[in-house]
Amino acid sequence: MFVITVWFEVNASSQEEFAAALRQQADNSLTREADCLRFDVCRDPSRNEWFFLYEIYRDKAAFDRHLQSEHFKSFDASAAQMVVSKEVKALDLMHVAGEE
């Protein structure tokens, strides 16, 4: 499986709008993409302008399809004006505790 993590720092004035858009993006990814297996949205409780995503896709090809989806392109375009910084990392999922 293929994991993507993303840290976003957003403008203070855009925090709630960004949070709503991010939740919608997660829901769209999970309901419209069969190979999107997990999409968690987290927020730093002490720094409300920081958001963290943890996404799992069946494979890299599934993530590549995600990047080409209309819902991702729409989110990415609208979020760009709210984002101060963004750090994306790609990982291979090697083990899930409790699964054999």
The fraction of the chain above a pLDDT of 90, given in percent, is: 93
Give the model's pLDDT for residue 98: 78
For the residues of 13-74, what is the DSSP string, one character each? GGHHHHHHHHHHHHHHHHHH-TTEEEEEEEE-TT-TTEEEEEEEESSHHHHHHHHHSHHHHH
pLDDT band at 96 (very low <50, low <70, confident <90, very high): confident
**Is 98 inside any structural domain?**
no
**Is 9 inside any structural domain?**
yes
Domain that holds residue 85: 2-92
**Is 99 inside any structural domain?**
no
CATH number of the domain within which 88 lies: 3.30.70.100
Neighbours of 62 (CB within 10 A): 17
What's the DSSP call for residue 96? -
Distances (CA, A) of 1 to 15, 56, 71: 31, 7, 22
User: What digits encode the pLDDT tens for the residues 43-84?
Assistant: 999 999 999 999 999 999 999 999 999 999 999 999 999 999
Give the model's pLDDT for residue 21: 96
pLDDT band at 100 (very low <50, low <70, confident <90, very high): low
The tally of domains found in the chain comes to 1
**Is 68 inside any structural domain?**
yes
**Is 86 inside any structural domain?**
yes
